[in-house]
Amino acid sequence: MAETKRMTIREALSQALREEMYRDETVFIMGEEVGVWGGTYAVTRGFYDEFGEKRVRDTPIAEMAIVGAGVGAAMAGLRPVSELMTINFAFLALDAIVNHAAKIHSMFGGQFKVPLTIRTTTGGGRQLGATHSHSPEIIFAHFPGLYVCCPAMADDAYGMIKTAIRNDNPVMVIEHSTLYQTRGEVPLDQDYLVPVGESRIVREGKDVTLVSFSKGVHWCLEAADILAKEGIEAEIVDLRWLRPLDTSKFIESFKKTNRMVVVEEGLPQFGVGAEITARVMEEAFDWMDAPIKRVTAEDVPLPYSREIEQMALPSAEKVVKAVKEVL
């Protein structure tokens, strides 16, 4: 087993990017403030001096251009990393992401590949107002041809960036803005990759299955600690990838516990929870002992006020309440 080092998610991302840039000279980074400023969340701090302006390119505030240029560069044989400051601004690049990056390989009969990595941040909880606090990961996971991953742990952040850069398909790596300081053990292995479309069990239990991803995994872990004090053992499945979606582990877990709560920061309508619930109904209905519960953000534009914003977001307490309802 590889030796590990404890580091933050920010440090894991930075180390992975740096290693991939040294490993493959066709890898370059572009986006707003990624160069001289060192990145909005300091992930690329020092890269401009280390690799130069040719490979760490500051761009205008133009998300369509950041991704569009990335698509073209990828088609021409490079492996660009297009950074979007937040996922809220990815809406401005939807045409490049959905109509071009995701579809070119198929529409050209496999003659072109688009090895493009799109890094962006998601999530509320930082008092940035309704237009800067979306969690719309499910929108991008809707489209075939585009891979979507959402790291919750430092080792996944490290491995997913490497997987994305080395993959010949466009991959969105969606990082939660409040998790950058979260620490974890990261393998000291420059070839450590997270398999595309593979979820994992992060805690074993027998009474209820909690399914989540990104920040939701941490709410689930906190809730599981609270429930364990009352003798309730929750099993937690971290989806990790929203596309391709791995159904095997949460279906297997549900067949063991017969009860499920799905936790996401997204909105309740047409969300990840709805998809997971449908899959369980189709594949494991006979094992169901209670209706599946969903814990989501409230169905409102996220408020600016800190107290009201926290009320609108999921929490460990809301997960505990949902678990007790299904039990």
Same domain for 175 and 255, yes or no, is: no
Lowest mean pLDDT among 21-25, 39-43, 96-100: 39-43
Q: Is residue 151 part of a domain?
A: yes
Catalytic status, residue 132: yes
- In this prediction, residues 27-40 reach a mean pLDDT of 94
Give CA angle at 325 (200, 150), nearest 5°.
Answer: 25
For the chain, what percent of residues have pLDDT higher than 90?
Answer: 98
Q: Is residue 193 part of a domain?
A: no
Q: Is residue 112 part of a domain?
A: yes
pLDDT tens for 53-66 read 999 999 999 999 99
- In this prediction, residue 244 has a pLDDT band, given cuts at 50, 70 and 90, of very high
Answer with the residue of higher pLDDT: 2 or 212.
Answer: 212
Same domain for 170 and 250, yes or no, is: no
- In this prediction, residues 294-310 reach a mean pLDDT of 96
Distance CA 217, CA 212 (A): 5
Same domain for 54 and 177, yes or no, is: yes
Catalytic residue among 19, 20, 63, 137: 63
Asked if 57 and 34 touch (Cβ cutoff 8 Å), the reply is yes
* pLDDT exceeds cutoff 90 at 1: no
Distance CA 289, CA 96 (A): 44
The neighbouring-strand residues paired with 174 are 120
pLDDT tens for 41-56 read 999 999 999 999 999 9
pLDDT tens for 14-24 read 999 999 999 99
CATH code of residue 239 = 3.40.50.920
Query: How remote is the C-alpha of 286 from its chain's centroid?
Result: 31
Write the CA distances from 212 to 97, 105, 132, 226, 227, integer angstroms: 25, 30, 22, 17, 17
Per-chain mean pLDDT for the chain = 97
Catalytic status, residue 282: no
Catalytic residue among 132, 185, 222, 275: 132
Q: Is residue 149 part of a domain?
A: yes
Domain limits at 41?
A: 4-187
Residue 60: the pLDDT is 96
Same domain for 204 and 179, yes or no, is: no
Q: Is residue 272 part of a domain?
A: yes
Same domain for 204 and 306, yes or no, is: yes
* pLDDT exceeds cutoff 80 at 162: yes
Residue at which a domain ends, from 160, 187, 214: 187
Asked if 57 and 78 touch (Cβ cutoff 8 Å), the reply is no
Same domain for 43 and 68, yes or no, is: yes
- In this prediction, residue 222 has a pLDDT band, given cuts at 50, 70 and 90, of very high
Same domain for 104 and 209, yes or no, is: no
Q: Is residue 28 part of a domain?
A: yes
- The two tokens of residue 286 are 């006979």
Same domain for 131 and 250, yes or no, is: no
- In this prediction, residues 86-105 reach a mean pLDDT of 97
- In this prediction, residue 161 has a pLDDT band, given cuts at 50, 70 and 90, of very high
* pLDDT exceeds cutoff 90 at 2: no
Distance CA 240, CA 216 (A): 11
Same domain for 131 and 246, yes or no, is: no
* Percentages (nearest 5) of helix, strand, coil residues in the chain: 40, 20, 40
244 CB contacts (<8 Å, ≥6 apart)? Answer: 147, 196, 197
Same domain for 95 and 130, yes or no, is: yes
Q: Is residue 194 part of a domain?
A: no
* pLDDT exceeds cutoff 80 at 8: yes
Residue at which a domain ends, from 140, 160, 187: 187
For the chain, what percent of residues have pLDDT higher than 70?
Answer: 100
Residue 220: the pLDDT is 98
Residue at which a domain ends, from 125, 156, 187: 187
The domain total for the chain is: 2
Same domain for 46 and 180, yes or no, is: yes
CATH code of residue 59 = 3.40.50.970
Distance CA 82, CA 66 (A): 6
Q: Is residue 195 part of a domain?
A: no
Same domain for 51 and 114, yes or no, is: yes
* pLDDT exceeds cutoff 80 at 156: yes
